[in-house]
Structure 1
Amino acid sequence: MTHALSAPQIHTFPGPHWCDYCANFMWGLISQGLRCSDCGLCVHRQCSQLIPCDCSPDQWRKRRVFSADLTTLVRALNTQRSPVVDLCVREIERRGLRAVGLYRVPGSSEYIKQLKMAFDREWEKVVLSEDVYPDIHIIAGALKLYLQGLPIPVIPYHLYYTFIQAAGLPDPGARLEGIHEAVLQLPRAHYEALRYLAAHLKRVAAFEKQNFMSAENLGLVFGPTLMRKPEDSGPMSLDHMWKQSLIVELLIQNEDILF
């Protein structure tokens, strides 16, 4: 293992998982493969011998953008953000900010699945115009699906309780300061993704009178999308659900000072 991933560890994946190198399924119930603790790359044991030690796999090795680790993806593509986030946000802001129930109204699951496949097949050729996807809720749904499917959420598991604790502070000023300190601890790719999404959702909320999506409503939608409770820490409580929503609401309302 000295010439493969820089910090590989045998890993048990709680759900179906595919190798980030060969894109084939990782079979088994436990210890299905290796996960790099530096960049999050997940591979078969045999595939790990073929990965360079710089944690920056070539673009051709990333056959999927959906379900790919954020840090690994942006390094592989040499971009600031995931192309799914960039392209979907750009199109939504071009023609969807006034859409009633944006991000709350579901789009066609069949078309969302088609769009996901298009991104994974060849994201550079994805066309999101109204001629191809006339319903903006399809694009919004695809973006939500992408964020929900990240192996490590935008707000990573290791910072989950840091954010939750900050949200529980009774003093509003201390609460914002706590969230700001948590934001500064985000890995670079996650920080950029959260910053970009918070700015986008702030623009969505600016059209609240037309789309009926206030910062509070967007918090309810995106709370469990951007942060998920670590799976080994017990069931979700109502208190945590409320704090997840509050965190996203505050990120939207205070985007200019939190980032």
Structure 2
Amino acid sequence: MAASSNSSLSGSSVSSDPEDYQPPIWKSYLYQLQQEAPRPKRIVCPKEMETRPKYYGREFHGMISREYADELLRAADGSYLIRESQRQPGTHTLALRFGPQTLNYRLFYDGKHFVAEKRFESVHDLVTDALITLYIETKAAEYIAKMTANPIYEHLGYTSLLKDKMVHRLSRRCTESRRVTFVRDDQISSSLVRHSALKDTPEKQCSYEKIHNFKVHTFRGPHWCEYCANFMWGLIAQGVRCSDCGLNVHKQCSKLVPRDCQPDLRRIKKVFSCDLTTLVKAHNTPRPMVVDLCIREIELRGLKSEGLYRVSGFSEHIEDVRLAFDRDGEKADISASAYADINIIAGALKLYLRDLPIPVITFDLYPKFIQAAKIPNAECRLEAVHEGLLQLPPAHYETLRYLMAHLKRVTTFEKDNFMNSENLGIVFGPTLMQPPEQNALTTLNDMRHQKLVVQLMIEHEDVLF
């Protein structure tokens, strides 16, 4: 039955001509099976049980044997009861009739009823969901095993139109921003310049690849998977939804979905503490707009400010800037009329970078940069930092490139602001680099290496990026 249904209810063919495009047909076979699944039938205990927990009803039969429960449930498919275990008094078992056998499950309650991961408001709902799952997985095991073979995902407008359009735009913008002519400098490693000038490899592109942020979701009403087009069965937790873009798929299908999440601004609750790649994709920008707006304001009126980035602004005002970005996004007012002290804007920028859930220099690349800083030979050290930068996710790379170019400009006003590359390295080392495991001793030992990495990136910004 599974094979014939698969062929008759498969998605429609898709033409390469957009004008001939027809939406894929949702496959209804699994929905039909859910409608056919046995309905729960509660077997009521004929007498009131004094030992019955308050969260169970008359389906509780007290301490009865497995054999007696089987006799009570033989009347109808889908019948169920709850009994106290004879082997483990105080524990409860859900006995459920499905087909020719009685199934026994250890039953738990912590405010909701559950036998596995799913939690239900009532035992009736739990049994309903179990019967649906058992029926579908029994009747359509072969179908379920094959249902991801011909996905419709690539034909959805989400992937074929929106994603391609954005990737093309960002790739072009980032390629233009990274087009750098490498020149010799007495203070720069000649081997790295030679390597950068002669290396015959494609330029790192800003494809801004992003994995989906899937979370288990309960769908109200019938829902179909946007990967395989099949019905998502069950009463609750039928599948997963990407909290960034809203894509709905089966849990098993989520493992096959490409890394092409396109976040929806309506789903992004805040700007600060939001994953960097998620934010730039949602706003369709090469870098977080917080970084762009703060740097623009600092360069407009703060490059000569003494102790820039070292002197702290009032924390209450910095928090106001955070709230303004979270509330108003790129329309946040951070002008001199709103915040006369430029240290407030500098503090907000540092706070944004420090609060990223994944630092600009990512957790997985942190050890590579620390090891690079420990290399005694200056040329080899710079080469190692360069290799680490090339492994950063595109959005992280672009953010770091833009920030280092800004900090390089800050150092050109050292006679006014008293901030050289070493001072800025001390400030931004812990901000841009955080060890994967928060260990006080590790953090303390790594501080000088963090400082050196940032110092090198500022001093050799024109070669490293």
> TM-score band (shorter)?
0.7 to 0.9
Q: Distance in 1 between matches of 2:355 and 2:420?
A: 25
Q: Distance in 2 between matches of 1:157 and 1:172?
A: 24
In structure 1, distance between residues paired with 2:328 and 2:399:
21
Q: What is the aligned partner in structure 2 of residue 46 from structure 1?
A: 217
* 1:99 paired residue number: 305
Please list every run of 5 or more consecutive structure 1 residues that lacks an aligned counterpart in the other structure.
1-37
Q: Residue 365 of structure 2: SS of its match in structure 1?
A: helix
State the SS of the aligned residue for 1:236: helix
TM-score scaled to structure 2, two decimals? 0.46
Q: Is the 8 A contact 2:324 2:333 kept in 1?
A: no
Q: Secondary structure at the match of 2:437?
A: coil
Residue in 1 that maps onto 2:339? 133
For the residues of structure 2 that align with 1:180 and 1:151, how far apart are their CA atoms?
A: 24
Amino acid at match of 2:426: L
Coordinate RMSD, CA, aligned: 1.8
Note the C-alpha offset of 1:123. 1.2
Classify the secondary structure of the residue corresponding to 1:72: helix
Q: Deviations over 1:148-202 (max 9, x none)?
A: 0000000000000111111111100000000001001110000001100100101
Q: Shift of residue 124 of structure 1?
A: 2.5
Please list every run of at least 4 consecutive aligned residues from structure 1 whose deviation after the TM superposition is greater than 3 angstroms. 38-45, 232-235
Query: How far 1:67 moved relative to its partner?
Result: 0.4
Deviations, residues 89-145 of structure 1 (Å, cap 9, x unaligned): 000000000001101101011111011001001112212211111000000000000
Deviation at 1:49, TM superposition (A): 1.8
Q: Is the 8 A contact 1:41 1:69 kept in 2?
A: no
Match of 1:120 in 2: 326
Give CA deviations for 1:15-72 in whole Å, capped at 9, x if unaligned. Answer: xxxxxxxxxxxxxxxxxxxxxxx73665753385252264112122112110010111
Equivalent residue, structure 2, for 1:206: 412
Give the distance between the partners of 2:266 and 2:460, measured in 1 at CA. 38
Deviation at 1:235, TM superposition (A): 3.5
Instruction: Between 244-253 and 118-127, report the one with greater CA deviation.
Output: 118-127
SS in 1 for 2:297: helix
The structure carrying a bigger helix percent of its residues is 1
Q: Within 5 A, what are the aligned runs for 1:175-254?
A: 175-231=381-437, 235-254=441-460
Say how many residue pairs are matched.
222
Aligned residue for 2:236?
none
**2:269 is equivalent to residue 68 of structure 1:** no
Which of 264, 272, 284 is the aligned partner of 1:58? 264
Instruction: Give the % identical residues.
Output: 57
Give the 3 Å change call, closer, same or farther, for CA 237–91 of structure 1 in structure 2: closer
Kindly indicate whether residue 285 of structure 2 is the aligned counterpart of residue 79 of structure 1.
Answer: yes
Q: Give matches, 1:23-34, under 5 Å.
A: none
For 1:151 and 1:186, locate their aligned partners in 2 and report how far apart those are by CA, in whole Å. 15
**Larger relative contact order (C-alpha < 8 A, sep ≥ 6)?**
1
Report the Cα distance in structure 2 between the residues aligned to 1:40 and 1:220, rounded to whole angstroms: 33
On the 8 A contact 2:308/2:417 being kept in 1, the answer is yes
Secondary structure at 1:157's aligned position in 2? coil
